[in-house]
Homo-oligomer: A and B are copies of this chain.
Amino acid sequence: MNSTPKAVCLLSGGMDSAVTLAEARAKGREVYALSFQYGQRHQIELEAAARVAHEGGAAEWRTVTLDLAALGGSSLTDDLPVPKDRAQEDIGQGVPSTYVPARNTVFLSVALGWAEILGADEIFLGVNAVDYSGYPDCRPEFLRAFEEMAQLATAAGTESGTRVHIRAPLLNLDKAAIVRRAAELGVDLGLTHTCYDPVLKGDLHLACGRCDACRLRLKGFKEAGGSDPLPYAEQP
């Protein structure tokens, strides 16, 4: 019998979830990586997630199709324009238009179902300090409330079964700290994908360098004193 503790890890293909997977592995967990095809515009996010799961040593990687676009309401699933060239101080203020309503709640709920099937008692996700100022479902009080709810939602909660814990190891890190942590854990950030609005050049998708996600990522590398291995269409 395999007694390695199992954990489900939400994997977007971005930098944060790649480092989160590495944190779970570094803690000795057998990691079950979970990605979503949720009507987002970019298949390349899922390709990045596949690379990260494989290189990051996940025991399994599953993709769940979830057609959130059917409900509309966000520029990541709709055809609304992605905000560009926003001043650094505006990023993380208010709820951005790239917020998909209740997305983390939905993703964590599906992860909870898989955790129950697997007998995993931890769910890792890569939310962090930069994100949670703008996205309500990235706040620590939300994660605690989700854990409380999860305790009552599952069959495990009705028996002597284990409680599922929500782990957000990057919660108090900024992007620069995450870049440094990636280096410590040996995560190849060149495998990840961050851009909200990639630019096709020949066969290659280049990061735009101008959306909020690119700007935060580039700022993180700059502050950490490293250089981003990803190709960019332009850099501010």
**Residues of A in contact with B (beta carbons under 8 Å apart):** 62-68, 70-73, 95, 99-106, 108-110, 112-114, 116-117, 136-137, 139, 141-142, 145-146, 148-155, 157-158
Q: How far is the CA of A188 from the CA of B141 in the complex (A)?
A: 44
Decide: B102 and A112 in contact? CB cutoff 8 A: yes
Which residue in B113, B114, B148, B158 is a CB contact (below 8 Å) of A103? B113
In the complex formed, the residue of B with least CB distance to A102 is: B113
Q: In the bound complex, do residue B101 and residue A117 qualify as a contact, i.e. CB atoms below 8 Å apart? A: yes
Given A101-B116, A137-B153, 20 more A-B residue pairs with CB atoms under 8 Å apart are: A64-B68, A66-B110, A71-B113, A72-B117, A73-B117, A100-B113, A101-B112, A101-B114, A102-B154, A105-B153, A106-B106, A106-B110, A106-B113, A108-B109, A136-B158, A141-B152, A142-B152, A142-B153, A145-B152, A146-B149
Picked from B62, B101, B153, B158, the residue with its CB within 8 Å of the CB of A71 is: B62
Question: Taking the full assembly, how many copies of this chain does it contain?
Answer: 2
Contact present for A101 and B73 (CB under 8 Å) = no
Give the chain B neighbours of A62 by CB distance below 8 A.
70-71
Nearest-CB distance from A183 to chain B (Å)? 33
A145 and B144 CA atoms in complex are apart in Å by: 11
A64 and B65 contacting across the interface, CB-CB below 8 Å: no
In the bound complex, CA of A108 to CA of B153 (Å): 11
CB distance from A90 to the nearest CB of B (A): 17
